[in-house]
Amino acid sequence: MADHDHAPPTPGSRSLRHVRAAQLRAKASRRAIVQVLLGSVFLMGALAYALAPDRHSDTSLMWMTGLLLLSTMYVALGMRTLARLRLRRRLARLWAAAAAAWGLLSTVLVGFLLRG
């Protein structure tokens, strides 16, 4: 083995790793925000089906169910990524409760619109 294989890292390479790590964190944060926004768009689609004139048809109900599932999934994935990037360890599990609350409240809202 050559001596340069086990040489200590230079200060320049160490700072380059920190810059790269910060870039990756920023990219993950942007992706997580886009996932939460996409989940909101799916929820708006489900609400649009719930307000449509033929909202009680089987096709509309299936679309609403699928859109609510996609909405909850994307919001959960986005919140999970944001929690892993920014929160302390003891608060990092709150993303699951927040995503469950999102899914439950959106389902209740669509159910309320279907009854009205």
- pLDDT for the residue numbered 87: 66
pLDDT in tens, 8-30: 666 666 788 889 988 999 999 99
Q: Which two tokens stand for residue 79?
A: 């919140």
pLDDT of residue 4 exceeding 60, the answer is no
Q: Taking a C-beta distance cutoff of 8 angstroms, is the pair 33, 86 a contact?
A: no
Q: Which two tokens stand for residue 47?
A: 């609400």
Cα separation, 94 vs 76, whole angstroms: 11
pLDDT band at 3 (very low <50, low <70, confident <90, very high): low
User: Whole-number mean pLDDT of the chain?
Assistant: 88
Describe the crossing of helices 58-86 and 11-51 by its angle, rounded to 10 degrees.
Answer: 160
Q: Is 2 helix (H, G, I), strand (E, B) or coil?
A: coil
pLDDT in tens, 35-74: 999 999 999 999 999 999 999 999 999 999 999 999 999 9
Q: What angle do CA 67, 71, 75 make, to 5 degrees?
A: 175
Distance linking the first and last C-alpha atoms of the chain:
76
Cα separation, 1 vs 19, whole angstroms: 30
Q: Which two tokens stand for residue 76?
A: 């959960």
- pLDDT for the residue numbered 70: 97
Whether the model clears a pTM of 0.85, i.e. scores above it, the answer is no
Q: Which two tokens stand for residue 22?
A: 């910060």
